[in-house]
Amino acid sequence: MNKQSGIHYLREHQNAGGNKPIPAEVTRIRDTVVAGLGDLLQGAFDAVDDSLFELANNARSNNEQNRYFEAMREIRIKRKGVERQFQNTVAQFFANPPQTSHLHDDSLGANANADNLALVGNDDLEEQVALNAMITKAKAHFQGPLLQLQTRFNKVYHGESNESHVNPMAPEHLCSAFTNAIQALEIQIRERLILLKQFDRYVISNLGMLLDEANRILIQAGVIPHFRYQGSSGQQYDAAEDQSKTESQDGSAASGGNRQDNSSVSNPVFDQIHQLLARQRANAGIPSRQHDPNIRIIGGNELASLLASLPLNTQANATNNLSEGEPLTVDLRGAIQQILAQTNPSDGKTPALKEMDEDLINLVSMLFEFILDDYNLSAPVQVLISRLQIPILKVVIKDKSFFSKTTHPARKLLNALARAGIGWSNSDEKTRDKLYEMIHGIVQRILSEFDGDITLFETLNDEFEEFLARENRKASLVEQRTRESERGRIKSQKAQELVDRIIQERVSRYRLPEPVYNILVNGWCRFMFLAYLRDDVEHRWQESVKVVDDLIWCLHPHEEDDERDQWVRVVPGLLKSLRAGLEEVSYNVTKLDNTMSQVKHELAVAFRASSSVTMAEQPEAQQEDPDEARNIAELQPEDAAIAEFMVQIDSIEIGNWVEFRLVNGASFRCKLSAIIEEADCFVFVNRMGLKVIEKTRIDLAHEMRRGRLTLLEQGAFIDRALDAVVGSLRSKTA
């Protein structure tokens, strides 16, 4: 695509912000926005991958299928670079903000006259239209927050007038950053439009929560806290009043232990889920109970005290082994309704939860439903984590930042437990496994000790990280030795195969004198083997092969004068190299002189024009077997069938975990430790760093095709769960 097409704002207005120091509140917004956009962009790329895979499966021809697989491979390879460039560009917007068109002006449409469009190619025009639609929709949908933010940024960036608007988070700037970042992708327009569509769906459509967070930070910093504007409906809106109202509703409850309630802190992730659930209730026609005179809404403190009476080990296994049996399923909503029913209201009103608290309970339930369905978790660890539903519910009721802060102690601990347990197999002996004992002990302590003080999760996480660091150091050393050993073994194996092939190919073409044959097959091949292994340092491999070719050439009759002159020049150096190499490998030490004398004799006989070497009888050229040709032709569809799996195999990186299933139904998990390119060999190790299996690339593709190889996801566990929940809610409310 021509880089001059699409959005031009970044290049046209690059000097708007100057090189002034970034204010502290803007730095805070930048960090939040860049991290949030990075998370949203990951979801967009995952959706692109799924879309391309689906299109490839439904392709009408091999060429079309290969096109989608190639695009999928291209995006997977360059995805990290695109994400990094996009985030870096967005971060630069805050240091040097480009100018922004007025929200009521359609700058793109104004510039898109007939003369301009005539100069744009069809592909560029399609992309331009998609970008224009994306930006126009975002400006209309987020008009209020964008106007607030633009006005506040004009105030923050000193010297900006009303005629020169700046907003680093304007949709046109984000689209510009993304289109610049994807220039590196060598894909066709159809795949590029799929990429833009998912960027719109996952990033631009969810921009509202980041705009709200940016406005909140500036309000807290005192930047135009009382902002009024006339909305499209004609209704006046006071941002500061709405903000304070939200905080007063959610900020009354104090958290237990040593932590203050963080409910009043803006939570983009939960706010988004709350909106989706509210839309779901509206679609289902469920009326709000907030204004029912017969209903008494339970406040934050009262709900926290009610949850304190809920036992942490509800339905837990009676034995000491918490991982026995199936994962624990708890009806959180039913349990809380049962507690509410047991209360005796003094005013005669029926107690009920706030919609926000109900959504929190539903969200925790959905998270743990994902846990029970997540194949990436090993079964014992899955059962253990399922025991933590009620403790996690108590955590999120008091601190909603669990959903937005990746550094939240409870979230960090859950992620660490899931990450550490990914390599656990059902066949492992739990009674003698230190990792299992540690995870089991952590779950037991939470169930027995958690009283609302989240510092318990911090303590347990610190202890677990320290334990993992020790175990990983041991496993890394073992894995390194395993990797080096396998590389050496495979290189030796390849060296031996190559030497044997070269020697056999040479000696099979001629009837060599017996002394020469014995030296090459039993002695010189050992020197060639060492020369190959040391070739990176000593560079003697080609010389060792040349000795074989020179020796056989010198045994031929040479009647021409120039050939005989060359024979005289070659033989002395040849004999010297031959003796030195045989001595180095200690070949036939006691009889080496006698052996070399025999070789000299055979060379002298050959020089006297009576050849010591004759051509061996070669088998007649075999006619092509029609059955074999038919078998080769039949293999081609199979090669096409595994093409999609080869793409997935190529995406596996060092350190990724997989699961192999055996024919007898047993399974084991292992980690890719090394890819030895020269031997097309993938080496897998277990949690301890010990080798468990090695496979070629095509063998792995066949295993995946047969359903006996599964790639395990290793991203942050809670992040994946939240993405799955949001995706499910979106599909239900679409």
Three-state SS for 503-570 is HHHHHCCEECCHHHHHHHHHHHHHHHHHHHHCHHHHCCHHHHHHHHHHHHHHCCCCCCHHHHHHHHHH
- Work out the widest C-alpha separation in the chain, in whole angstroms: 125
pLDDT at position 72 over 80: yes
Measure CA 235 to chain center: 46
Under a CB-based contact definition with an 8 Å cutoff, are residues 513 and 610 in contact? no
pLDDT at position 255 over 50: no
Report the C-alpha gap between 301 and 256 in whole angstroms: 9
pLDDT at position 321 over 70: no
Mean pLDDT value across residues 563-592: 87
654: tokens are 């060092």
Of 518, 519, 521, 516, nearest in space to 504 by CA? 521
Residues 679-730: pLDDT tens digits?
788 999 988 888 888 898 899 998 998 888 988 877 677 877 887 777 777 7
CA torsion through residues 437, 441, 442, 447, sign: positive
In this prediction, residue 91 carries a pLDDT of: 92
AA letter at 160: E
Under a CB-based contact definition with an 8 Å cutoff, are residues 519 and 494 in contact? no
Q: 586 versus 614: which is more confidently predicted?
A: 586
Report the C-alpha gap between 277 and 392 in whole angstroms: 20
Residues 630-658: pLDDT tens digits?
444 444 445 666 787 888 888 888 888 99
- Per-residue HEC secondary structure of 423-452 comes to HCCCCCCHHHCHHHHHHHHHHHHHHHHCCC
Under a CB-based contact definition with an 8 Å cutoff, are residues 187 and 196 in contact? no
Average pLDDT, the chain: 77
Of 124, 147, 183, 172, nearest in space to 7 by CA? 172
pLDDT at position 13 over 50: no
In this prediction, residue 176 carries a pLDDT of: 92
pLDDT at position 251 over 60: no
Distances (CA, A) of 706 to 57, 165, 377, 590, 651: 17, 59, 22, 58, 18
In this prediction, residue 633 carries a pLDDT of: 44
Report the C-alpha gap between 618 and 45 in whole angstroms: 59
Measure CA 191 to chain center: 21
Mean pLDDT value across residues 587-614: 77
pLDDT at position 257 over 80: no
Report the C-alpha gap between 227 and 274 in whole angstroms: 25
Q: Tokens 């970042």 sit at which residue?
A: 181
Under a CB-based contact definition with an 8 Å cutoff, are residues 218 and 26 in contact? no
Q: Tokens 């074999």 sit at which residue?
A: 628
Residues 471-484: pLDDT tens digits?
888 888 888 888 88
Report the C-alpha gap between 265 and 396 in whole angstroms: 13
In this prediction, residue 1 carries a pLDDT of: 41
Under a CB-based contact definition with an 8 Å cutoff, are residues 210 and 32 in contact? yes
Options 2.40.50.140, 1.10.1060.10, 3.80.30.20, 2.30.30.140; CATH of 640-712? 2.30.30.140
Q: Tokens 């390194």 sit at which residue?
A: 480
Report the C-alpha gap between 48 and 50 in whole angstroms: 5
In this prediction, residue 289 carries a pLDDT of: 61
In this prediction, residue 568 carries a pLDDT of: 87
Residues 530-550: pLDDT tens digits?
998 888 778 889 999 999 999
Residues 79-132: pLDDT tens digits?
999 999 999 999 998 888 887 655 444 444 434 444 444 444 567 777 888 898
Percent of the chain surpassing pLDDT 70: 76
AA letter at 70: E
Under a CB-based contact definition with an 8 Å cutoff, are residues 718 and 411 in contact? yes
In this prediction, residue 323 carries a pLDDT of: 61
In this prediction, residue 3 carries a pLDDT of: 38
Query: Which range, of 40-44, 226-230, 361-365, 607-611, averages the lowest pLDDT?
Result: 226-230
Percent of the chain surpassing pLDDT 90: 13
Residues 6+ apart with CB under 8 A from 442: 413, 417, 460, 463, 464
pLDDT at position 18 over 70: no
Mean pLDDT value across residues 379-391: 84
Helix (H/G/I), strand (E/B), else coil: 21: coil
In this prediction, residue 562 carries a pLDDT of: 85
Report the C-alpha gap between 142 and 207 in whole angstroms: 8
Of 670, 732, 666, nearest in space to 700 by CA? 670
Output phi, psi for 3, to 5 deg: -70, -15
pLDDT classification of 667: cutoffs 50, 70, 90 = confident
In this prediction, residue 326 carries a pLDDT of: 61
pLDDT at position 182 over 70: yes
94: tokens are 């805050």
Mean pLDDT value across residues 333-351: 73
Residue count of the chain, please give it.
734
Q: Would you tell me how many other CB atoms lie within 10 Å of the CB of residue 276? A: 18
Mean pLDDT value across residues 576-583: 90
Mean pLDDT value across residues 561-580: 89
In this prediction, residue 117 carries a pLDDT of: 41
Query: Which range, of 11-15, 290-294, 695-699, averages the lowest pLDDT?
Result: 11-15
Q: Would you tell me how many other CB atoms lie within 10 Å of the CB of residue 493? A: 12
In this prediction, residue 53 carries a pLDDT of: 85
Parse the chain into domains and list their residue ranges: 9-246, 260-473, 510-614, 640-712
In this prediction, residue 100 carries a pLDDT of: 66
Under a CB-based contact definition with an 8 Å cutoff, are residues 427 and 668 in contact? yes
Distances (CA, A) of 342 to 339, 349, 688: 5, 13, 51
**Best-predicted range by mean pLDDT among 51-65, 425-439, 518-532?**
518-532
